[in-house]
Amino acid sequence: MIPDNKQNIVKKALKTAFGVDSYDDIKEITIGLSNALTFRIVVKNKPYLMKLARTDELSTPETYYEYMKAGSDAGIAPHVWYLNSEDKISITDFIEAKPFPIKKAKEIMPKLLDKLHKLPPFHKEFNYFDAMDGIVQRFFGAKFLPDNLSEEIMKNYAYIKEIYPCHSEDLVSCHNDLKPENYIFDGEKAWFVDWEAAFLNDRYLDLAVIGNFVVNNDKDELEYLENYFGKAPNEYIRARFFLMQQLLHIFYMSIFMLHASRTIPINIEGEHVSFEDLHKRMWQGEIDLSNDESKLKYAIVHMNQFLYNIKTKRFEEALNVISKS
């Protein structure tokens, strides 16, 4: 199960971490989209998670190992037993996942995000907005949408991007990939996992990504943001959160439709599920975004939600608040 060229690496890790040469049991984990070889191992009757890079050609993961260790030390990531960026191997506690009620997540996740965002600033900087815009421009260049629809979306996206503030005080240590597979609920608390995309970024990005799953109405939003900020959110906070959600709608529409187009024709017509229902099914593990049909459905759901939102009074009010800030 362990490739021959990784056997010595694994033995060294086990010896260093636990004083043994081998594990008692091993099972490969194939759930998720990670490129790493991932295993549940048992050593001295306790389970652990072991991850190995698939090839020696991957870049040295010094940065995200450092951030994963920082999360572990802060109690928001599973305990780290062994990290070696040269050998590209990590061993952490294995967290047995339990069903995560949305009501509980709405309370727990913003507080967990607050702890993450208060970590010492990650030194890895990456201009997420420029990268996002590059993908969006590629999408519109591919002309998947009718011209009138494309123009409507692009006009509103461009205006949000123009006025959206980039304040240094809102650049914090972010995870940046907070889909449900990347946090685990053990029945009492939640843990962040898979830190490969972590870098310094706008705090509202992490907030908006998790908000897609736990915020379904104004009451949810107020509670969610209050749990994060420790006080009732003002109109600026709510406008900023809402506009980040709109930017993400366009980003997800673009990247997932581009991916889907590699193997299937792009057709945006037909019956589609609601934004809330699709995210509820994703939360429950019923939808797998590894196949291109699901990617396309996910892209269309985000597109339709954006088209709905830009016609609301909330959108107009958010633009007005941010443009005057």
CA distances from 317 to 123, 236, 237, 254 (A): 35, 10, 12, 25
What tens digit of pLDDT does each residue of 8-56 get?
999 999 999 999 999 999 999 886 546 789 999 999 999 999 999 865 4
In 3D space, the residue among 284, 298, 114, 282 whose CA is nearest the CA of residue 192 turns out to be 114
CB-count burial class (<10 Å; 0-12, 13-18, 19+) for 183: buried
Give the Cα separation of 268 and 146 in Å (integer): 10
In whole angstroms, what separates CA 50 from the centre of its chain? 21
pTM, 2 dp = 0.92
What tens digit of pLDDT does each residue of 35-46 get?
789 999 999 999
What domains appear along the chain, each with residue ranges and CATH number?
A: 4-93 (3.30.200.20), 102-323 (3.90.1200.10)
| 3-state class percentages of the chain: helix first, strand second, coil last, to nearest 5 | 50, 15, 35
The yes-or-no verdict on residue 3 having pLDDT over 70 is yes
Average pLDDT on 301-322 reads 97
Q: Which residue has 């062994």 as its token pair?
A: 82
Question: DSSP class of residue 59?
Answer: P
Local structure of 84: helix, strand or coil: strand
CB-count burial class (<10 Å; 0-12, 13-18, 19+) for 90: buried
For residue 198, name the pLDDT band (cuts at 50, 70, 90): very high
